[in-house]
Amino acid sequence: MLLFKNARVVDYISITDKKQDILINAGEILAISENIETEVSKTIDCEGLVAIPGLFDMHVHARDPGQTHKEDLLTCAEAAAAGGVTGFLCMPNTEPVIDSAETIKYIAEKAKDCKVKIYTSCAITKGQKGKELCDFAVLAKAGAVAVTDDGRPVRSAQLMGEAMIAANDLGLAIISHCEDLDIACGGAMNAGIVSIELGVRGIHRVSENIITSREIDLARDLYGKVHIAHVSTKEAVAKIRAAKAENINVTCETAPHYFALTEEALRTRDADYRMNPPLRLQKDADAIIAAIQDKTIDCIITDHAPHSPEEKADFRTAPNGVIGLETSLAATLTFLYHTGKINLFDIVRLMCVNPRKILGIDGGKLAVGESADITLFDPDEEWHVEPDKFKSKSRNSCFKNMKLKGRVKYTIVDGEIVYGG
Ligand code: DOR
């Protein structure tokens, strides 16, 4: 038995915010209350720490199979544990693409040796080529919980509509990467003043906005449900807000870099600030924060996208993507909590409860009888982000060298301490 003493327990579902002890036995929470006195194998003093349900990141590129020089499931899980993330959803843009029962089984097998809980999303179209739908029934049976062509949009609205119906019927979440490839045209950053000044091809915001509108229209007309990935623009946020007001079944996510940074970071010509969608303008970051506050945005994810230093070396040719598992909670605390924009209940809702709810996965609450998946953090500890110290195989963090406030101290999965101590 494990006893965590005197943590500030914050749980959104039971609306708890109290200093309590948490007793864990056989992977489950046995008791949560004040002054638990019992014989245990280990007691951990949690004075000054906050205990929340384990974070769940529903947007992670684990790169396994096929690109394991960037990351593999084991290192990705190590990075997750270090970031307080007790479960995550793998994106399917691997090599081969996750579009078969065999690849799902490969991941499930390897996940057994990983420190955190790993779930799989599958491609919408075979090979993510945008031509032919995968057999969702087969993929669901093999264990997929979501479908997405993330990294690429589904170019055909007809095919996306068919996918929405098929996924909804099977209870699979369908996640849309909203990008018009003709408009984006291989750009390296947001299209705007900075891209013009740098002489770099830009990705126009309309690329994201137009496909966000399309998905909302499809969901409206098909009485469907869709989740919009990595929202970055003011207009996309406004469209999703209006859709929700119309009771259209749309949910969405954003990542810390979209509320913490802007295209100004690209002036360094450092490819570690390149991702897709790109960093936008201050008005976009402000709109993202307002949408987090009014619940238009349901989740904060990382879009953890490892790339090697060699791949990131040349600004113009580097692939898009940044890692985020080891900084997401700290960045959210720094830019949203310590600035008074959101409270700890919001963090639990955005990073623990809603992602699981959208994917139909159990957990996200601290209560007796629940699996002991818990994140303990010091909300006030300041630290410098040094990517060389990360558990991830890659170093492409856009929070590198920043001072963040809030640090994960322990991560517990099924009652085991997988990080800290
Ligand atoms: O920046 C990104 N990187 N955006 C994506 O959609 C894909 C991802 C990747 O796989 O590297």
Q: How far apart are CA 380 and CA 332, in angstroms?
A: 13
Catalytic residue list: 303
| Cα 414 to averaged position of ligand 1 atoms, centre (Å) | 30
- Asked if 123 contacts 147 with a C-beta cutoff of 8 angstroms, the reply is yes
For residue 177, the ligand 1 atom closest to its alpha carbon is: 6
For residue 230, the ligand 1 atom closest to its alpha carbon is: 6
Residue 394 lies in a domain: no
pLDDT, tens only, 207-233: 999 999 999 999 999 999 999 999 999
Mutate to test the pocket of ligand 1, among 57, 58, 61, 302 (most ligand atoms within 8 A of CB): 61
| Cα 13 to averaged position of ligand 1 atoms, centre (Å) | 32
Please report where in the chains the tokens 């992602």 appear, as a residue: 355
Mutate to test the pocket of ligand 1, among 320, 325, 392, 398 (most ligand atoms within 8 A of CB): 320
| CA distances in angstroms from 195 to 190, 236, 264, listed in the order given | 7, 21, 10
For residue 229, the ligand 1 atom closest to its alpha carbon is: 6
Average pLDDT over residues 179-185: 96
| Cα 326 to averaged position of ligand 1 atoms, centre (Å) | 17
pLDDT for residue 421:
83
Closest C-alpha to 269, from 385, 189, 184? 189
Look at ligand 1, atom 5, and give the residue with the nearest C-alpha: 151
| Cα 354 to averaged position of ligand 1 atoms, centre (Å) | 22
| Cα 6 to averaged position of ligand 1 atoms, centre (Å) | 40
Residue 98 lies in a domain: yes
Sequence-distant (≥ 6) Cβ neighbours of residue 150 within 8 angstroms: 59, 91, 92, 93, 121, 175, 177, 229
- Asked if 194 contacts 267 with a C-beta cutoff of 8 angstroms, the reply is yes
Angle formed by the axes of helices 282-293 and 234-245, nearest 10°: 30
Residue 219 lies in a domain: yes
Phi/psi of residue 357, nearest 5 degrees = -60, -45
**Residue 276 in contact with ligand 1 by CB distance below 6 A:** yes
Sequence-distant (≥ 6) Cβ neighbours of residue 56 within 8 angstroms: 85, 86, 87, 88, 89, 351, 352, 355, 356, 361, 363, 364
Q: What's the CATH number where 129 sits?
A: 3.20.20.140
pLDDT, tens only, 24-58: 999 999 999 999 999 999 999 999 999 999 999 99
| Cα 61 to averaged position of ligand 1 atoms, centre (Å) | 8
**Residue 94 in contact with ligand 1 by CB distance below 6 A:** no
**Residue 153 in contact with ligand 1 by CB distance below 6 A:** no
pLDDT, tens only, 221-276: 999 999 999 999 999 999 999 999 999 999 999 999 999 999 999 999 999 999 99
Average pLDDT over residues 147-163: 98
Q: Give the N- to C-terminal CA distance of the chain in Å, as an integer.
A: 16
Look at ligand 1, atom 4, and give the residue with the nearest C-alpha: 276
**Residue 277 in contact with ligand 1 by CB distance below 6 A:** no
**Residue 128 in contact with ligand 1 by CB distance below 6 A:** no
| Cα 274 to averaged position of ligand 1 atoms, centre (Å) | 10
- Asked if 265 contacts 190 with a C-beta cutoff of 8 angstroms, the reply is no
| Cα 306 to averaged position of ligand 1 atoms, centre (Å) | 9
The secondary structure element, H or E, covering residue 242 is helix 234-245
Residue 121 lies in a domain: yes
Number of residues that this document lists for the chain: 421
Mutate to test the pocket of ligand 1, among 90, 93, 394 (most ligand atoms within 8 A of CB): 93
For residue 275, the ligand 1 atom closest to its alpha carbon is: 1
Tokens of 339: 């600035």
In percent, the amount of the chain with pLDDT more than 70 equals: 100
- Asked if 76 contacts 94 with a C-beta cutoff of 8 angstroms, the reply is no
**Helix, strand or coil for residue 304?**
strand
Phi/psi of residue 208, nearest 5 degrees = -75, -45
Dihedral of the alpha carbons of 263, 351, 5, 373, in degrees to the nearest 10: -130
Question: Is the pLDDT reported for residue 174 higher than 90?
Answer: yes
**pTM confidence score:** 0.98
pLDDT for residue 167:
98
Cis peptide before 153 (omega within 30 of 0): no
pLDDT, tens only, 316-332: 999 999 999 999 999 99
Residue 393 lies in a domain: no
Closest C-alpha to 327, from 344, 292, 303? 303
Mutate to test the pocket of ligand 1, among 98, 276, 393, 397 (most ligand atoms within 8 A of CB): 276
Residue 34 lies in a domain: no
Question: Is the pLDDT reported for residue 103 higher than 90?
Answer: yes
Structural domain range at position 153: 54-359
Question: Is the pLDDT reported for residue 112 higher than 90?
Answer: yes
Question: Is the pLDDT reported for residue 303 higher than 90?
Answer: yes
pLDDT, tens only, 342-374: 999 999 999 999 999 999 999 999 999 999 999
**Residue 22 in contact with ligand 1 by CB distance below 6 A:** no
For residue 151, the ligand 1 atom closest to its alpha carbon is: 6
Which residues lie across from 174 on neighbouring strands? 147
Q: What's the structural domain count of the chain?
A: 1
Please state, rounded to an integer, the average pLDDT across all residues of the chain: 98
pLDDT, tens only, 399-409: 999 999 999 99
Residue 301 lies in a domain: yes
pLDDT for residue 54:
99
| Cα 323 to averaged position of ligand 1 atoms, centre (Å) | 10
Amino acid present at 157 = A
pLDDT, tens only, 121-139: 999 999 999 999 999 999 9
Residue 213 lies in a domain: yes
Look at ligand 1, atom 2, and give the residue with the nearest C-alpha: 321
For residue 307, the ligand 1 atom closest to its alpha carbon is: 11
Please report where in the chains the tokens 């996208």 appear, as a residue: 305
Find how far residue 121's CA is from the centre of its chain: 13
